[in-house]
A = this chain, B = another copy of it.
Amino acid sequence: MRVIKKISEAQVLAQRIREEGKTIGLVPTMGYLHEGHLSLIRQARKDCQQVFISIFVNPTQFGPAEDYKSYPRDFLRDKRLAEKEGVDIIFAPSPGEMYPAPFHTFVEVEKLSEPLCGRSRPGHFRGVATVVAKLFNIIRPHIAYFGQKDAQQAIIIKRMVHDLDMDVEIEVLPIVREKDGLALSSRNQHLNEAERRAAPILYKSLQEAERMIKLGERQSRNIIRRMEEMIKGENLAKIDYLAIVDGEALKERERVEGKVFIALAVRIGKTRLIDNLMLEI
């Protein structure tokens, strides 16, 4: 396994691999790898002849008051895990390598970046789209892998790839959960014991929504009211947003029908967690 820190070196290597006719899989990450990331790596390993992962905590997708500095980092641990999964190349650039001053260019996916996490985190998806565009241009993967946990991100990246005619296939893999239902996230690391016990409330509320829908409930506001009640019953939880939108344009839905996306962000103590459910009715 090779670790590459320079853009030019990654670009030359990836191009050589392409010219040899080999397929390239890319798993873009911010490091602090967990089973969610590993499920993406394993799929890439199955599909592609060469597997790149990127490890880069991307400053442009964090707001000024957000957790860029405290985002968990452990490169040696990540390296060990990646090696074990058979990753071929880790691309781990510095912030100065990715954003040399002056840096002026951003990719903006309008409309889809506005609701949900986009409302709570202005500029977040602009940073995501920009860094992913850069990674795609550097590594030129045949397939890139993303987790369904960041469902809005995956929708935005698919849209960017489509709109800008990028020649890459986007694979989105299911959320990996702890036994009690908590979606895996590097940020779970920040939870203390009491917060960790409270955190499964996100998934429990989604399961309750699913149960109501299965029983025939179609009014979004009834489902949201019930989810709110449940989450508010948890002292350490504070709702950031809770929404039922359609699964493509991300517009709010009064009635639950067709491709429906139930998404929520909840603060557990100081840690903001997200989770979601995609349903086809």
Residues of A within 8 A of B (CB): 7, 11, 15, 102-112, 129-130, 133-134, 137-138, 140, 159-160, 163-167, 249
Contacts and interface: CB of A to CB of B under 8 A. Distances in A.
Q: 5 nearest interchain CB pairs?
A: A105-B163, A137-B165, A104-B110, A105-B109, A138-B165
A11 B165 contact: yes
A188 to B, nearest CB: 32
A137 to B, nearest CB: 4
A106 B102 contact: no
A105 B159 contact: yes
Number of this chain's copies in the complex: 2
Given A104-B111, A107-B108, 10 more contacts: A102-B111, A104-B109, A105-B109, A105-B159, A106-B110, A107-B164, A133-B164, A134-B163, A134-B164, A134-B165
Contacts of A140: 167
**Among A107, A110, A130, A249: residue with most chain B CB under 10 A:** A107
**Among A105, A111, A133, A165: residue with most chain B CB under 10 A:** A105
A164 B131 CA distance: 8
A173 B132 CA distance: 32
A227 B108 CA distance: 39
A18 B109 CA distance: 29
A9 to B, nearest CB: 12
25 contacts: A11-B167, A15-B167, A102-B111, A102-B249, A104-B109, A104-B110, A104-B159, A104-B163, A105-B107, A105-B108, A105-B109, A105-B110, A105-B129, A105-B159, A105-B163, A105-B164, A106-B108, A106-B110, A107-B107, A107-B108, A107-B164, A133-B164, A134-B163, A137-B167, A138-B165
A116 to B, nearest CB: 15
Contacts of A112: 104
Contacts of A104: 109-112, 159, 163
A43 B103 CA distance: 30
A247 B160 CA distance: 32
A257 to B, nearest CB: 20
B111 A137 contact: no
Contacts of A249: 102
Contact of A165 (B7, B102, B106, B108): B7
A103 to B, nearest CB: 6
A163 B103 contact: yes
